[in-house]
Structure 1
């Protein structure tokens, strides 16, 4: 492609179809809205139904919204999600593996009762969603798979070895899938969010010692917001990133450099 051929249309997702697992809560909702604002129709599989907020903000953009109340860790459910998406919208252009579970405890107390459910949802379900999606994307020779990783894809992470293991595993999955799917014009990348001001981090932000410790590690010196991830997602979901593959994009205010 000649440089003169580039236009802002490369960031458009008009007419595309996106699946966002866990896309009706937390940062998943921000991802669903970002994709809808760029023109994509949205299907959200999640174990938790919301109060209708996500459907409302998505449909206000003019995009369609479909919700499936499902447990992605149950056998065959990821395949059923893909089949339903194809039945409703005709295809799958973008998959965002965002659904996740976080449990924590002292290492000696962190046993299989916490390890198993975290690995099942945070890693195995993401693998099964990507595997089922690839069956649709390979024949059409196009697609975007975006795995939501973490700073703990690179770090140890106290009090949740399962989180570190799953997020490291997502990076490996991202690179392995890139290596095989790139030949079919499918891009597989990840986003590693930093510390964000969400309901999940409210307790840490309100604790002076914890808040200071975290911000002292962030060159930007503030907590990010879910909106800070929206541009990164659209870049990786759109044609603008067609030659970006197997990459983990950190959005962390510089946390990893300090």
Structure 2
């Protein structure tokens, strides 16, 4: 066994159907964890992420939950917190984005983005984290963003939410570190996923992005996997309240 071994642990990954969530679920399974995948549209059986996890020899359970629905999120938290088998790792990854100039960014888009990317994250962390703190052990990893540090362009709701995720990470770490719960976050850079499709398809913006990244390429979802496994493992036992950029060097420019 190594400090990175997650054998016997149960991980919940939200937004697990595709992109970063799928890559993280696969990596956690390869490190030894059983996985509960959560997504609004996740297939009950036979999904790509389920195949990834079972191919690694670990068990998988699919749960459908819409993070835009506060009641659904509260029900999910109660379900996970009330199970006989404890949740050892919570990866709060589900998210959405709406792009529009601030003067055209509607209340509906603002409310949706804040609900999915911040309010739901807190509600689920509160439910699962309380049980972790009560038993003195657990790992929570949020997905923050480069826009936890910067302002971005035409994404005011997303930027506000991701700044909130960074603050929430630190606030929960301050409360729960002494109770054996590690709360941290990863901050993806420009990763080639559905959320960044509009930027990838814009030749001017895409070129500007690539010129700013020292690594010289868009990130891949798998680039996040090792960082999350680290934060979910005993190797990060003394890491609390960190927001770890995985950005190809973007913030270093």
Give the structure-2-normalised TM-score.
0.94
Give the Cα separation in 1 of the matches to 2:177 and 2:73. 22
Cα distance per residue 1:146-167 (max 9 Å; x no partner): 1100000000111111001000
Give the Cα separation in 2 of the matches to 1:111 and 1:200. 19
Most deviating of 42-51 and 215-224: 42-51
| Pairing 1:109–2:104 present | yes
**Residue 3 of structure 1: aligned partner:** none
Give the Cα separation in 2 of the matches to 1:62 and 1:82. 26
Could you say what the CA RMSD is over the residues aligned between the two structures, in angstroms?
1.6
- Secondary structure at 1:9's aligned position in 2? coil
Q: CA deviation at 1:216?
A: 1.1
Moved over 6 A (4+): none
- Secondary structure at 2:185's aligned position in 1? strand
Structure 1: where are the runs of 5+ without partners? 1-7
Q: CA deviation at 1:24?
A: 1.5
**Residue 185 of structure 1: aligned partner:** 180
Please tell me whether the aligned partners of residues 65 and 73 of structure 2 are also in contact (alpha carbons under 8 angstroms).
no
| Pairing 1:209–2:211 present | no
Please tell me whether the aligned partners of residues 81 and 127 of structure 2 are also in contact (alpha carbons under 8 angstroms).
no
1:1-258 correspondence runs (5 A): 9-50=2-43, 52-85=47-80, 90-258=85-253
Give the Cα separation in 1 of the matches to 2:74 and 2:120. 10
Please tell me whether the aligned partners of residues 77 and 123 of structure 2 are also in contact (alpha carbons under 8 angstroms).
no
Distance change (3 Å), C-alpha of 1:113 and 1:76: closer
Give the Cα separation in 1 of the matches to 2:117 and 2:127. 16
Give the structure-1-normalised TM-score.
0.92
Please tell me whether the aligned partners of residues 43 and 85 of structure 1 are also in contact (alpha carbons under 8 angstroms).
no
